[in-house]
Amino acid sequence: MAASAGDACGGGGGGGGGVGGRAGAGAGAAAEARFISSAKGKGLFATKSIRKGDTVFVERPVVASQFLWNALYNYRACDHCLRALETAEENAQRLLGRSSQVLPHPEQCSIRKDLHQQCPQCQVTYCSAECRQSAWEQYHQVLCLGPSREDPTHPLNKLQEAWRNMHYPPETSSIMLMARMVATVKQAKDKDWWIKVFSQFCSKTANEEEEIVHKLLGDKFKGQLELLRLLFTEALYDEHLSRWFTPEGFQSLFALVGTNGQGIGTSSLSQWVHACDALDLPMPQREQLDAFIDQLYKDIEKESGEFLNCEGSGLYVLQSCCNHSCIPNAETSFPDNNFLLHLTALEDIEAGEEICISYLDCCQRDRSRHSRHKILRENYLFTCSCPKCLAQADDADVTSDEEEEGEGETDDAELEDEMTDV
Ligand SMILES: [Zn+2]
Ligand SMILES: [Zn+2]
Ligand SMILES: [Zn+2]
Per-residue pLDDT of the chain (422 residues; tens, 9 = 90+): 333 333 333 223 333 333 333 445 555 679 999 998 887 888 999 999 999 999 999 999 999 999 999 999 999 999 999 999 999 999 999 999 999 999 999 999 999 999 999 999 999 999 999 999 999 999 999 999 999 999 999 999 999 999 999 888 888 888 999 999 999 999 999 999 999 999 888 777 888 888 888 888 888 888 899 999 999 999 999 998 999 999 999 999 988 998 899 999 999 999 999 999 999 999 999 999 999 999 999 999 999 988 899 999 999 999 999 999 999 999 999 999 999 999 999 999 999 999 999 988 878 888 999 999 998 888 888 889 999 999 988 776 555 444 444 444 444 444 443 343 33
The ligand placed nearest to the CA atom of residue 140 is: 2
Strand intervals (E) in 316-357: 323-324, 330-333, 341-345, 354-357
From the CA of 19, how far away is ligand 1's center (Å)? 7
Distance separating alpha carbons of residues 81 and 131, to the nearest angstrom: 7
pLDDT of residue 220: 81
Task: Give CA separation, 138 vs 141, 216, 328, 416, in Å.
Answer: 8, 27, 34, 28
From the CA of 175, how far away is ligand 2's center (Å)? 18
Distance separating alpha carbons of residues 70 and 308, to the nearest angstrom: 10
- Residues whose Cβ atom is located within 5 A of ion ligand 1: 78, 80-81, 83, 127, 131
pLDDT of residue 18: 34
From the CA of 377, how far away is ligand 3's center (Å)? 11
From the CA of 365, how far away is ligand 3's center (Å)? 8
From the CA of 129, how far away is ligand 1's center (Å)? 8
The ligand placed nearest to the CA atom of residue 18 is: 1
- Residues whose Cβ atom is located within 5 A of ion ligand 3: 326, 384, 386, 389
From the CA of 122, how far away is ligand 2's center (Å)? 4
Closest by CA to 91, choosing from 219, 350, 320, 270, is 270
pLDDT of residue 212: 84
pLDDT of residue 202: 72
Distance separating alpha carbons of residues 90 and 100, to the nearest angstrom: 10
- 3-state class of 333 per DSSP? strand
From the CA of 213, how far away is ligand 2's center (Å)? 30
pLDDT of residue 233: 97
The ligand placed nearest to the CA atom of residue 392 is: 3
From the CA of 307, how far away is ligand 3's center (Å)? 29
From the CA of 85, how far away is ligand 2's center (Å)? 17
From the CA of 25, how far away is ligand 1's center (Å)? 18
26-47 pLDDT, tens digit each: 556 799 999 988 878 889 999 9
- 3-state class of 236 per DSSP? helix
**What does DSSP say about strands 323-324 and 24-25: parallel, antiparallel, or unpaired?**
unpaired
pLDDT of residue 238: 92
pLDDT of residue 16: 32
Distance separating alpha carbons of residues 8 and 55, to the nearest angstrom: 17
From the CA of 164, how far away is ligand 3's center (Å)? 34
CA angle 193, 60, 343 (to 5 degrees): 130
pLDDT of residue 1: 31
The ligand placed nearest to the CA atom of residue 391 is: 3
3-class secondary structure per residue, 186-222: HHCCCHHHHHHHHHCCCCCCHHHHHHHHHHHHCCCHH
108-164 pLDDT, tens digit each: 999 999 999 999 999 999 999 999 999 999 999 999 999 999 999 999 999 999 999
